[in-house]
Structure 1
Amino acid sequence: MVETPTLRRPVLLLAVLGPLTAVAPLAIDMYVPGFPGLGRELAASRPAVQLSMSAFLIGLVAGQLVIGPLSDGLGRRRLLVPGTAAFALLSACCALAPTAPLLVGGRFLQGCAGAAGLVLARAVLTDRFAGPRLPVYFSILAMILGVAPVLGPLLGGVIVTASGWRAVFWALTALGLVLLAATWLGVPESLPPARRSPGGLRQAFGSMVVLLRQRAFAGYILALGSAAGAMFVYIGASSYVFQDGYGLSAVQYGMVFAVNAAAMLAAGAGFGLAARRAAVPLLLTGYLTVGALGTLALAVQATLAPTLAGTWVCLAITLFGVGGVFPAVTTITQTIGRARAGAASALSGGAAYLFGALAAPLSGATLRTMAFVMLAALALAVAALLAARPWRPLLERSFV
């Protein structure tokens, strides 16, 4: 491969791929503080307003499953540039939406377009890098993904307070245009024609089937999706648990949420450092074990003697474990599927958001329900990891 200036200076590439990865997760909940005003202005019920978020998540999953494998045949840049442009355009359409049904439709298409940056950032890194550097770069993306959902409502609250809910989508429009310029200038094509998969649409989508037929790959994907489901259950139920259950104010709950997010960031940073010295499957096993034990402790104390401190500590431990699972599984699955990096990225990203969307409605509004649903999700993740057999010497040699 001919080394390009961007390749020699990966920090410049990461400076663009990081925001491209974050923009869709940021758009999921950035407008949540504006839900009441949105409902009044569009004469929409609460379920109709919440449907706009579900539509975005469905679009995000569908977009990844289409764009990822297509990029293996067409190249990354041919889809990344128009996808980013479409995200900016559709954000403006959402800002102008006159009715709730049109907003829901716009959010679905916005999610489809936003999936381009999310799925192709991982594929570009897989194309460009290998060996010990790759886990470090995936840990950076994982930390960015951990920050985006936390910053979303906080930043959205400031914008909504100043200018209303439509201003959130105008802000996303502006961000999309900035990312479009950055992508055009800073992300060269990473998949040369000689390495692309021939065969058109049928071959592109068939590559996902080929990957899922591999026991190890399917097991890791299921482990990732289940861990993501546990995280989304926490996101959906934690405000009720801490504010209604323990009587915390909104500001106090924000502090709890921020500390738990910091635990996820610490796990991602720790993974990037540890992956230089330890096998990634071994690290994944350790992180998932920590997460599962934290959730088991949460369920026990929720049943016997729930306390604010106990709940907070158990959740921080759980989220620390989950925070390490994301970059570890991404590193493994992208390495297994290196020849089909777009399809591999689509399956890992699609699984995370699909399982999250399915699990979130099960979160309930009580500590006990949240704890046991999270425990079930992480138990499934452990079972999936065992099915993937992370102790196999062949996989371990691939990452050291």
Structure 2
Amino acid sequence: MIETTRRPALLLGVLGLLTAVVPLAIDIYVPGFPALGRDLGAGEQAAQLSMSAFLIGLVGGQLVIGPLSDKLGRRQLLVPGTAAFALLSACCALMPTAPLLVAGRFLQGCAGAAGLVLARAILTDRFAGPRLPVYFSILAMILGVAPVVGPLLGGVIVSASGWRAVFWTLAALGLGMLAATWLGVPESLPPDRRSAGGLRQAFGSMTVLLRQRAFTGYVLTLGFAAAAMFVYVGASSYVFQDVFRLSAVQYGLVFAANAAAMLVASAGFGALSRRVALPRLLSGYVVIATIGALALSFQTSFADTWICLAVVLFGVGGIFPAVTTITQTIGRSQAGAASALSGSAAYLFGALAAPLSGTTLRAMAGVMRAVLVLAVLSLLVARPWRPLEEGSFA
């Protein structure tokens, strides 16, 4: 039964933790790449491959766990998923060779996908109306903070105790997630609301959703926006430190300021969603991000580049919660499958775009411009001037 009255502080706190750990696990061990490569005798490429393996596991895990939860329920997959994440984090800390670490990271990503994909599905199960976009904006803000905290925390841990301590930290966080999930996340999908067919029908629900023009258009919009963000993450350190000669500390301040722009946009989305129809609000954020990317192509100075990137990331910060709310609304009856498709698209498109980001301002601007123009075209496919199938929250 959808809850619309009680304040879900405890539930939101736990779901926020589940949401934050995955991006934290992506970035937290980046400062340990050099030491990891030396210790395992495999070089830095092995460390980068382990990150790619985690992302692949994260995409695949969401595509399996999401629709499966529509059939079996959320808690039955969430509890073992968090337990497996803790166990596999500890295994990664003990891996003696690079191939085993890569395999461990893949499995860790599969397990970590449970918290990420089911947090969105649980919110969709429990809440409706104007409160739902507010809660998704909170999750988006948490997603924006975690990538900033991750490298900083990882640097401290690696400096003090080495790269293996990073995975022990993730194991401890996994145990904390397990306890919080056990105590604070009851089953949100009762048997009478679960998928009535077999597993084939449960997984087939993703095909049903993708056949809906609006749903596919919105998912593609999110995917291309995520690609722009991953391009920024992959290239910005080279642009600001090599091209504009910023120190590592100065770059960290720029990165934090741009992350703050994303947080402001996410918070603004939560407030504006009560007064503006969600497709219209999403369209505004897409336009803002695209204008920032187009302007970036003509910049050569540090200040102008920084401003343009802040504009892009502001737009992206609003796109994430807007698309999540819209796609979960369209796919409410298959919330797990809808969450799997939107979440996996974001990470898949990001992982594919990041290697194209290059190391120069021109290359970064070119890729960001291209993917955001594709985001605009995807939004037109979704036809945002039409009302959502289950109604807008205007």
Q: Tell me which interval the TM-score lies in, with the shorter structure as reference length.
A: over 0.9
User: Which whole-Å CA distance do the structure 1 matches of 2:2 and 2:109 have between them?
Assistant: 34
Aligned position for 1:176: 174
Aligned position for 1:21: 19
User: Which whole-Å CA distance do the structure 2 matches of 1:205 and 1:65 have between them?
Assistant: 9
Aligned position for 1:358: 352
C-alpha distance 220-138 of structure 1, shift in aligned 2 (>3 A): same
State which of 356, 366, 370 in structure 2 corresponds to 1:376: 370
State the TM-score, normalizing by the size of structure 2: 0.98
Give CA-to-partner distance per residue, 1:115-150, whole Å, 9 cap, x none.
000000000000000000000000000000011111
Q: Which amino acid aligns with 1:359?
A: A
Give CA-to-partner distance per residue, 1:97-125, whole Å, 9 cap, x none.
00000000000000000000000000000
User: Which whole-Å CA distance do the structure 2 matches of 1:19 and 1:378 have between them?
Assistant: 30
Aligned position for 1:289: 287
User: Which whole-Å CA distance do the structure 1 matches of 2:391 and 2:20 have between them?
Assistant: 32
User: Which whole-Å CA distance do the structure 1 matches of 2:124 and 2:3 have between them?
Assistant: 15
Q: Is the 8 A contact 1:84 1:116 kept in 2?
A: yes
Q: Is the 8 A contact 1:281 1:396 kept in 2?
A: no
RMSD over aligned CA atoms reads 1.2
**Identical counterparts, % of pairs:** 79
Aligned position for 1:347: 341
Q: Is the 8 A contact 1:281 1:395 kept in 2?
A: no
The 5 A counterparts of 1:113-124 are: 113-124=111-122
Report how far residue 193 of structure 1 moved.
Answer: 0.1
Report how far residue 204 of structure 1 moved.
Answer: 1.4
Report how far residue 8 of structure 1 moved.
Answer: 2.5
Report how far residue 3 of structure 1 moved.
Answer: 6.3
Q: Is the 8 A contact 2:2 2:128 kept in 1?
A: no
State the TM-score, normalizing by the size of structure 1: 0.97
Structure 1 unaligned residues grouped into runs of 5+: none
Report how far residue 394 of structure 1 moved.
Answer: 4.8
State which of 309, 318, 321 in structure 2 corresponds to 1:324: 318
Q: Which amino acid aligns with 2:98?
A: A
Q: Which has the larger displacement, 326-335 or 390-399? A: 390-399
The 5 A counterparts of 1:41-60 are: 41-60=39-58
Q: Is the 8 A contact 2:3 2:127 kept in 1?
A: no
User: Which whole-Å CA distance do the structure 1 matches of 2:263 and 2:35 have between them?
Assistant: 33
User: Which whole-Å CA distance do the structure 1 matches of 2:252 and 2:196 have between them?
Assistant: 49
Q: Is the 8 A contact 2:258 2:313 kept in 1?
A: yes
Give CA-to-partner distance per residue, 1:248-271, whole Å, 9 cap, x none.
000000000000000000000000
Q: Is the 8 A contact 2:2 2:127 kept in 1?
A: no
Q: Provide the secondary structure at the position in 1 that maps to 2:186.
A: coil
Q: Provide the secondary structure at the position in 1 that maps to 2:250.
A: helix
Q: Provide the secondary structure at the position in 1 that maps to 2:188.
A: coil
Aligned position for 1:138: 136
Whether 1:148 aligns to 2:142 is: no
C-alpha distance 394-201 of structure 1, shift in aligned 2 (>3 A): closer
Aligned position for 2:109: 111
C-alpha distance 80-188 of structure 1, shift in aligned 2 (>3 A): same
The 5 A counterparts of 1:153-232 are: 153-232=151-230
The 5 A counterparts of 1:25-36 are: 25-36=23-34
Q: Which has the larger displacement, 197-206 or 161-170? A: 197-206
Q: Provide the secondary structure at the position in 1 that maps to 2:70.
A: helix
Aligned position for 1:63: 61
Structure 2 unaligned residues grouped into runs of 5+: none
User: Which whole-Å CA distance do the structure 1 matches of 2:135 and 2:15 have between them?
Assistant: 10
